[in-house]
Amino acid sequence: MKLHASSTQQYQTITGYFPGGVEINAQPFDHSLLVLPETAPRAWPVDTFEALTVQHFEQLLAEQPDVVILGTGERQRFVHPKLSAPLTSRQIGVECMDTNAACRTYNILMGEGRKVLLALIIEKA
Q: What is the CATH number of the domain that holds 52?
A: 3.40.1230.10
30-45 pLDDT, tens per residue?
999 999 999 999 999 9
Residue 67 lies in a domain: yes
pLDDT at residue 16 tops 50: yes
User: Is residue 114 within 8 Å of 66, Cβ to Cβ?
Assistant: yes
Share of the chain above pLDDT 70, in %: 92
Q: Would you state the torsion angle of the CA atoms of residues 83, 86, 68, 78, taken in this order, to the nearest 10 degrees?
A: 20
Mean pLDDT of the chain: 91
Range of the domain at 103: 14-120
Helix (H, G, I), strand (E, B) or coil at 55: helix
Residue from 99, 100, 45, 51 nearest 71 by CA: 99
Residue 125 lies in a domain: no
Assessment of whether the complete model's pTM goes beyond 0.75: yes
Residue 5 lies in a domain: no
Residue 65 lies in a domain: yes
Residue 52 lies in a domain: yes
Confidence of residue 10 (pLDDT cuts 50, 70, 90): confident
Question: What's the number of domains the chain is made of?
Answer: 1
User: Is residue 10 within 8 Å of 39, Cβ to Cβ?
Assistant: no
Residue 4 lies in a domain: no
59-103 pLDDT, tens per residue?
999 999 999 999 999 999 999 999 999 999 999 999 999 999 999
List, in order, residues 6 or more apart from 72 with CB less than 8 Å away: 49, 96, 97, 98, 99, 102, 121
pLDDT at 9: 60
